[in-house]
Amino acid sequence: MNGRETEVKFLLENLERIKGRLVRSGAVRFQPRTLETNLRFDLPDEKLRKSGSALRLRKDNEARLTYKGPGTISENVISRQEIEFSVGDFDGARDILIALGYRVVFTYEKHREIYALENSLVMLDELPFGDFVEIEAEDIQRIKSTAQALGLNWECAIPTSYHQLFRRIAESRGIDAERVTFEDYHLGKIEPGDLRLQFADTEEGLFSDNSAK
């Protein structure tokens, strides 16, 4: 897949609440809940991070290698070039990248369930440090429409990667920011303040977008 990725994330207090809203809105489940293993690579001089790019190897039902170029942020939505393709051997692809001089700078796991709603893809993500919903579509207005259908507070939109979010926790607690998996994660309950975020889902399901005022 070669093209552009346009997406935004929200931190969730209650993932099941959003799943219920998806079902009531007529969303179609695109992928059942699946465990992902993600490896993020960089060169020793951190060339990719410094340029705002990313190189990721992911394994769920298949293995995929993804390059993401520097992003532009508008209204808390990030858009950037994305090149992604399947690889037949996860371990082999990892070994080739390491042999070429790349190193794994971040290993993380998550459970992901994917729905299609209003020409958007809605990803429900469960990470060791919190639950999130990610909305991806061709443009900002479609993303906003989907966020409104799910009752998400737009003021809480996050244009940040999971790696960057976890670094906030790691820096504040003085821990290793290179690995977060379900097996070796022992930080206990993480509050929104630890991530410098707020929950986007409310009991009332009110959509807030100050840019429209």
125-157 pLDDT, tens digit per residue, is 999 889 999 999 999 999 999 999 999 999 999
Which of 178, 152, 187 shows the shortest CA–CA distance to 15? 152
Determine phi and psi for 36, rounding to 5 degrees: -115, 145
What residues contact 51, with CB distance under 8 A and at least 6 apart?
70
**Residue 137: CB partners within 8 Å, gap ≥ 6?**
6, 7, 119, 120, 121, 143, 146
Tally of domains within the chain = 1
Specify the higher pLDDT residue, 1 or 33.
33
| pLDDT tens per residue across span 179-207 | 888 887 666 777 888 888 999 997 654 45
**Among 24-33, 104-113, 181-190, the least confident range:** 181-190
What is residue 213's predicted lDDT score, i.e. its pLDDT? 38
Q: What is the mean pLDDT of the chain?
A: 90
The whole-angstrom separation of Cα 185 and Cα 146 is 32
Whose CA is closest to 76, among 210, 167, 213?
210
Partners of 86 in the β-ladder: 64
Element (H, E) at 176: none
Check which CATH number belongs to the domain holding 153 and give it: 2.40.320.10
- State the pLDDT at residue 1: 56
d(CA 35, CA 20): 21
Distance CA 6, CA 103 (A): 27
Q: Which domain holds residue 170?
A: 2-212
- Of 201, 74, 82, 68, which Cα lies nearest the Cα of 143? 74
- Cβ(130)–Cβ(11) under 8 Å? yes
Confidence of residue 169 (pLDDT cuts 50, 70, 90): confident
- Global pTM value: 0.89
CA 54 – CA 37 distance, rounded (Å): 16
Query: What integer pLDDT is reported at residue 211 of this predicted model?
Result: 46
Angstrom CA distances, 2 to 24, 169, 184, stand at: 33, 33, 34
19 three-state secondary structure: helix
As a whole-number percent, the residues of the chain with pLDDT over 70 amount to: 92
> Which residue has 């769920």 as its token pair?
60
